[in-house]
Every structure is written in structure tokens, then in C-alpha cells.
Amino acid sequence: MKGMDHMHFEELLRKKKYEDIWEEYCGFLDLSIQEYMHIQYRLLEEQMLNWLVSPLGQSIMQGKNLKNIQDFRYLVPLTTYEDYADILLNRKEEDLPGKPVTWIETTWEAGRHPVKCAPYTQEMLQVFKNNMMACLILAGSETRNDVVLRPHDKALYGVASLPYATGLLPVLVEEELTLDILPPVEQAEKLGFKERNVLGFKMGAKQGIDIFFALSSVAYYVSMAFSSLQSQTSSSSSHSSGKIKPKMAYRLLKGSYQAKKENRSMLPKDVFHMKCFLCAGTDSQMYKPVLEKLWGKRPHEIFAGTEPTCIASENWSRNGMYFFPDACFYEFMPIEEAKHFSKDHTYQPRTYLMDEVIPHEEYELVVTVFKGGAFARYMTKDRYRCIATHDSEDHIQLPRFTYVDRSLDIIDIAGFTRISEKTIEDVIKMSKLDIIEWVALKEYDDFRPYMHLIIEMSESSICQDAVLKKILKEHLQIYFTYFDSDYEDLQTMLGIDPLKITVVRCHTFHLYHQLHNEKLPKMNPSKHHIQDLLALSQAKRGEASCMWFSFRESLCFSTPFCFWH
């Protein structure tokens, strides 16, 4: 796997060496778990040698000496971006374990720390390229050794350009395979995100689309706007999107006829016959079923991030992702351990390796980036659920995962905005609204995500409920937009209303604390907790008091007690 004498992808294609292509890029799926772990250990040992002697590594280790991988896992502390910020934000290349050739950026914490960046070495880019090629090959495959990519395939590219990590794909893949990017990279970089996607889709409607890669939320937005975009395309004489090809003109006419015959709007599947449909983003599991109906092809999910690089992809069955063995060393922290650690940073949580994960368990991913990467035992704040430890049907001996969401202390909406407890506290403080208690959780309207903010106002601020909620929402929207420019994009670009507000009665939170002898977590409390809180708010004053006294009585007489029944 990736160890043979390198031959250019297009040369292998020309010679029809499909099995060689598969072995070089997708061969990791044929590894046993023992072979997989051998690669993990070997690459971690190589990374440790460089990381430990670097000023960055020494600043985190604080004089501790490591002898082996077991020492690494137990003596290197779990890290967050704050541990690296001074060196990375100032781009102190001399302090790093490997020489960077480029820096990749992403959003950190809106309003407080707008940007974080990560260094990429030449070796990291090589691994990134190989793994992205694997993603493309697998996205088009239906079985093993199935390679459908060809030079000059038309690729609609619906993700952010450089300096974001997704911007690496067209640049790196070009070294292996010539793709016709819609719109071309040079043109795309001069356009805003929305304008780039609209133009790309118009070009695709005229030239065809073989490959579509986008955030799931963006893919849905573009799909739903398809009818209006294609009507613009049919009537447009704009030279920016090119002339319409006869084949596409025929498909558009045929698709329009079929849609009218079935008394519905025309859908992308009526026009496009794609080879590869790749999606990414925190809410992909919610969007994938509806995207499959719209395009007639199930999206192929991958995962890539600024810090961990490109790390996971589904296979031809598209029922869960497998982690690439050569990108990072993976540790899996059970969610209960992560919760304990979030409350007490002196606690040392247990982590498990790829050969130790348990089916149906949920984990927070911890990574050490290989090939001169900066991050060691880095908490990605991404949650995964292990589906199975092997797949008998596809003859794969590796664990398979589904992406769940960001960690519970973050609300990520459609891959665009990341809202933390501190962000909400700052927004409330700046708004000067008399909010005395609040909790926030991520919920879905069908499959579209939003933030549900449940608040309690002071008695002096209470007015008619409908008026109060409208005022609060308008007020808070202004400050969320001020703190986080990506927040506004959810409305203007994707048509998502990211905020729902519920106002509970005065003293509801206090009564909840008395009943349960604990405070609710501010971010993403459980659905049962929210159900109890809202039931208290909806109960009449007398009923709420009875609940409290019944609860006390049940404790005094040690009788079984069911809160709502």
C-alpha cells in the first residue's frame, strides 16, 4: 500500500492497471487489524523522535522523558489549540517538528479567537494527496478494483478554497489527475463562496458534472435552487458559464418533460449522471437521505479537518467510514470519560486504540498528526460512533465509524459556525438583555440544524410571550452576527434560520435545580433534562409546587418515584 514505485495516476489509468491503482490508494482496506496497528505504531515512533526534540514538543512535555509508545500515551497530556496557539499563530517555524511548506486556516472561536492555523509539511501534503485520491476513487466505486475516474472529468467544487483545508484538493489532485474544476480555481478564488457555487452549478448545467464535492448543507441548498438555476442557465447568454453542450441541452429538455409529466419540479437527477458525489460536514448523516433522493446517487461521506488533515472515507458500500492509517495516530476517548475530563482537567481519561474500540460505543477522537505535524494527543472535539469492528460482507477487517457531531460543548450548525458557551455568554452580555438563566442545544427541523436557546428572563422583563420572543430573537441575531460572520451566512447563503428561542417561566431553572439537586449543563443537555425543564415551565404554579413537595416526600419515605407519572 502506497509503498510501490510511484507511477502517475493517469499513467496507470492509460495502461488500465486498475488493480495497481486500487492497491496503491485503497489498499489499506485490505489490511488486517494487526497490519493496520503495525503502521500506526511505526509512524508514531517516527513522529515521536521529531516532535519530542522540537521546542513545541518540549513546551508541552515540560521536561518529561519518554521511552516508548506507552509512555507517550500516559505522559503526554491531552492537548487543545490553546497549547499551540502562541507558536502556531505567530508561525514560529523554527519551533516545529517539521518544516512547513504551507499553512492552513479555519475558524477557531468566533468573537474571541477568529482564526486558527496549522502547518503542513511536504510529507503531510503527500499523504493528504494520496488519501484524497483514495476518497475520489472510492466515491466512484461499486466494488473492489472499480476505478471510474478519467482525465478531464468535470468537477463541481462546492467547498471553501485556500487557505482552508478543502482548498488543497484541486491543487494536489492536479498532480495526479487532470480535472476540469467548475469554476476554474483561478476564477473561483476571486469570487465569494455563494457566487462561486452558483457559477459552478450553471457551468455544470451546460457542460455536465462528473464529480460533485461539497458540504452537505451547501449541496442541499444548491440542489433545492436547481430549478431556478437551470432556468437561468437555459435563458442565459453569459459567456462566464460557457456554451451549453448538445448532450446537456437534450438532458435538460428530457428532464423538464419528465418533471412536467409527473407534475413536479425538475430535480438534479433528471439531468446529471454523476460518477462521484462526495460530501463532508457535521450534519451529513441528516442530509444524505434527502440528497440521494434529489440526485439519484447516495453521497459518499469523507472527513477532513484543518488539524488532523484528511483522515476518513466510506468505501463502495457507503455505510460508514474507515480511518486512513498513515495520516494520524488515533485514540478514542469514551464520551463518559470526555464528560468527566471537561469537568475536571486533573482527571486522566482513558483512551482506546483502533484495535480496542467497541461496536455501538461513542468516542471523542484524539489524534497525533504524522509526518512532522504539530499536534500530539490533540482533542479534535469530534465525536464518532463505532458501527462495527469488521465487515464480513465487504471482507474488511477494520473498524467502521459514523460521524456523530462536534463535542457536547460546541454547537456546529451545517459546518458553517461553531458556537461555544463563551460565545453565547458574550452575546447575552453585550445585548444587555435581562436573561438570568439559559441553556442551548442543537436540534433539527426535519434534517436542517438550528440552535435552540432556552432562556429565563427576570420578572421585571416579562411581557407578552410572542412579543418577547420576537424581540429577543431579533436582538440576539444582531449580536451573533456581530460575533460570528459565518452565522449570517447560514441565512443569506443556505436559507437556514439558525436560532429558535423558548422562554420559560420565572423560577423554572431554580425549581429544576431543587428537584434534581444539580444544575443543567449550559451546552447540549440531554433531551430528558430539557423535557423535564419545559414540563416544569408549562405546569401551573400549584402543580409545580406539588411536584416539589411530592419529590421531597418521596425522599423522606424512600418510596419509588417517577417524576412525571
Helix or strand or coil: residue 315? Answer: coil
Beta pairing class for 321-323 and 309-314:
antiparallel
Phi/psi of residue 252, each to 5°? Answer: -65, -45
DSSP result, 381-409: EEEEEEEES-BTTTTB-S-EEEEEEE-TT
Beta pairing class for 362-369 and 328-334:
antiparallel
Question: Residue 70 pLDDT more than 70?
Answer: yes
Cis bond before residue 560 (omega within 30° of 0): no
**Best-predicted range by mean pLDDT (207-216, 236-245, 384-393):** 384-393
Give residue 482's pLDDT: 63
Lowest mean pLDDT among 346-360, 389-403, 449-463: 449-463
Question: Residue 218 pLDDT more than 70?
Answer: yes
* Half-sphere exposure (Cβ direction) of 200: Cα atoms closer than 13 Å: 34
Between 203 and 33, residue with greater pLDDT? 33
Taking only the tens place, the pLDDT of each residue in 88-98 is 999 999 999 99
Q: Percent of the chain scored above 90 by pLDDT?
A: 57
Question: At 349, is the pLDDT very low, low, confident or very high (cuts 50, 70, 90)?
Answer: very high
Give residue 368's pLDDT: 98
300 strand-pairing partners: 278
Lowest mean pLDDT among 56-60, 61-65, 552-556: 552-556
Q: Percent of the chain scored above 70 by pLDDT?
A: 86
Taking only the tens place, the pLDDT of each residue in 310-331 is 999 999 999 999 999 999 999 9
Average pLDDT over residues 89-115: 86
Those residues whose C-beta lies under 8 Å from the C-beta of residue 463, and which sit 6 or more positions away, are: none
Amino acid letter for position 515 = L
The whole-angstrom separation of Cα 310 and Cα 305 is 6
Question: Residue 274 pLDDT more than 60?
Answer: yes
The length of the chain in residues reads: 565
Taking only the tens place, the pLDDT of each residue in 438-461 is 999 999 988 888 899 999 988 877
Q: Note the helical H segments in 298-412.
A: 335-343
Give residue 158's pLDDT: 80
User: Which element (helix H / strand E) includes 72?
Assistant: helix 69-75
C-alpha cell at 469: 420572543
**Best-predicted range by mean pLDDT (292-296, 323-327, 476-480):** 323-327
Question: Residue 419 pLDDT more than 70?
Answer: yes
Question: Residue 130 pLDDT more than 90?
Answer: yes
Strands (E), 100-190: 100-109, 113-121, 153-158, 179-182
Give residue 552's pLDDT: 43
Give residue 331's pLDDT: 98
Question: At 298, is the pLDDT very low, low, confident or very high (cuts 50, 70, 90)?
Answer: very high
Question: At 112, is the pLDDT very low, low, confident or very high (cuts 50, 70, 90)?
Answer: low
322 strand-pairing partners: 313
Average pLDDT over residues 424-442: 88
Question: Residue 555 pLDDT more than 70?
Answer: no
Average pLDDT over residues 459-484: 67
Helix or strand or coil: residue 347? Answer: coil
Question: At 230, is the pLDDT very low, low, confident or very high (cuts 50, 70, 90)?
Answer: low
Question: At 561, is the pLDDT very low, low, confident or very high (cuts 50, 70, 90)?
Answer: very low
Give residue 221's pLDDT: 84
Average pLDDT over residues 534-551: 62
Those residues whose C-beta lies under 8 Å from the C-beta of residue 349, and which sit 6 or more positions away, are: 78, 333, 334, 337, 338, 340, 341
Question: At 562, is the pLDDT very low, low, confident or very high (cuts 50, 70, 90)?
Answer: very low
Q: Note the helical H segments in 296-413.
A: 335-343
Question: Residue 251 pLDDT more than 80?
Answer: yes
Contact 22, 1 (CB under 8 A): no
Give residue 255's pLDDT: 87
Average pLDDT over residues 232-260: 74
For residues 88-107, one letter each, b for 16 or more C-beta atoms within 10 angstroms of the residue's C-beta and e for the rest, the string is beeeeeebbbbebeeebbbb
The whole-angstrom separation of Cα 69 and Cα 87 is 25
Strands (E), 10-161: 100-109, 113-121, 153-158
